[in-house]
Each structure stands twice: as C-alpha cells, then as structure tokens.
C-alpha cells in the first residue's frame, strides 16, 4: 500500500487514521476478548505512547474517536493527549465483534469447551451468528462500516483518528478493497490511513504500518487481529 504523502487535505474527503488498540495480557495469552473489557498491559501502554508520539508529528489531528472498550479507549486517550489534548469521542459501533460463547476462552481450547460456538466462529459463511449472543461477520461489517461512514461524513477536509479493534479493521479493509485478498493480521497499534470521499468511495493510503514500534516490540502473531478478533 502506498505511503501517505500528507499533502494538504481538501473538502472532497476525510482522512481517517484507523489504529488498533495496544496489546492486552489476553492478546499475549491468546484469550478471546470480543466485547469483554480487558485493559492494556505494560507493553500495550508503551505501544500506545509510541503511536501517539508518531501521530503528534504528522499533520494535525482534529478529532479522536474510539470504541468504548478500555483497551481502545485508553489507547485513544494517550493519542489524544499527545495530539493537542483532544477529547476522546466514544462510539459503541466501533467495538470488536461480539464473539458469544467464545469470549474468555483460550483459543486453542475453544473447540473442545464450546464446540458449537467454535464451529460458527470458524465458518466461512458470513451470515452465521455465534451462539451466546455473538454477531455474524455480516452484522459486524454493517455496524462498523456505517460508523466509519458517519465519521467521514462529519469530517470532510479534516484528519481524524479512530481507535478500534482487529475484527473491525478487517471489515473496514473489505469495504475499501472488496476484491482484494483477505487480510492476514492486524498488529497492535498498527496505523491504517483511509480516505472517505463523496459518493461512498473509500481508499487506503497507508496499511499496517508499525514502524513506530521499532524499539518497543509488538506481537508478531497478531493474535486478536487475525480471524481470532480481539
């Protein structure tokens, strides 16, 4: 994906910097989070500091939006503090996919403990809900792409940050690049820059950039940012 040139924004589009939250202990332990409200660990806070420092040196951020789950919200607060002491605006529609009975389980054990939920979770059909109140991929897609479109419509000519989750970012990628190969993984605090134009056109300027983590480290597995979501 091409690097952003950071040329002057115009009124034709909103530039939205979509960031995955920092690492949690459950990411490191390969536990499935979904809507469960797990906090950042020490590594996650360091990652958030580094991405905040990076964004503070790039073109001005006008607003910061976030999922209301703590791992995203605290990441967003750290970014907002470094980028002009902005307020963080929360939106429940930016939450991770609800993973039903899979939530709280170690991924490798899920197929034995909750076989029906695991079967639904592993299905390649996009309309399958996960037992225990979980969402289908279609419901996740509709929810989070609508949320980003609302943000884009409000902020034409501006650069805003959205802090969210791996499953959400995968859906946003599919909205922008519907014919591309599926995304393998979304790393913690990776930077992904979308432009939302009039006429519902989305493009991606920067994808999966974690160069700010050279000295901090990141989970190479991308757990929670791949099909495991989190």
Query: Which of the residues are catalytic?
Result: 21, 96
Binding site annotation covers 54? no
Binding site annotation covers 20? yes
Number of helices (H), then strands (E), belonging to the chain: the values are: 7, 6
Helix (H) or strand (E) holding 77: helix 70-82
Binding site annotation covers 125? no
Binding site annotation covers 90? no
Binding site annotation covers 71? yes
Q: Which residues contact 89 (CB under 8 A, 6 or more apart)?
A: 63, 64, 65, 66
Binding site annotation covers 174? no
Q: Name residue, tokens 């309309």.
A: 127
Contact 166, 144 (CB under 8 A): no
Query: Rounded distance, CA 189 to CA 41, Å?
Result: 13
Binding site annotation covers 50? no
Residue stretches of the annotated binding site: 20-27, 71
In the annotated binding site for substrate, the residues are 20-27, 71
């Amino acid at each position: 994906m091409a690097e952003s040139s950071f040329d002057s924004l115009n009124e034709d589009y909103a530039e939205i910097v979509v960031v995955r939250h920092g690492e949690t202990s459950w990411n490191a332990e390969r536990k499935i989070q979904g809507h469960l409200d797990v906090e950042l660990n020490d590594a996650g806070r360091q990652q958030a500091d580094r991405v905040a420092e990076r964004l503070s040196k790039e073109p001005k951020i006008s607003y910061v939006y976030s999922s209301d789950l703590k791992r995203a919200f605290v990441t967003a607060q750290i970014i907002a503090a470094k980028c002009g002491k902005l307020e963080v605006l929360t939106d429940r529609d930016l939450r991770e996919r609800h993973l039903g009975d899979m939530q709280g389980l170690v991924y490798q054990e899920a197929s034995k403990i909750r076989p029906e939920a695991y079967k639904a979770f592993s299905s390649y059909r996009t309309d399958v809900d996960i037992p225990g109140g979980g969402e289908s991929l279609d419901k996740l897609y509709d929810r989070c792409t609508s949320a980003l479109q609302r943000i884009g419509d409000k902020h034409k000519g501006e650069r805003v940050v959205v802090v969210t989750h791996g499953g959400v970012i995968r859906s946003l990628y599919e909205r922008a690049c519907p014919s591309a190969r599926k995304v393998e993984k979304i790393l913690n605090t990776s930077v992904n820059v979308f432009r939302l134009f009039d006429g519902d056109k989305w493009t991606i300027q920067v994808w999966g950039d974690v160069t700010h983590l050279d000295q901090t480290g990141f989970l190479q597995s991308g757990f929670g940012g791949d099909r495991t979501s989190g």
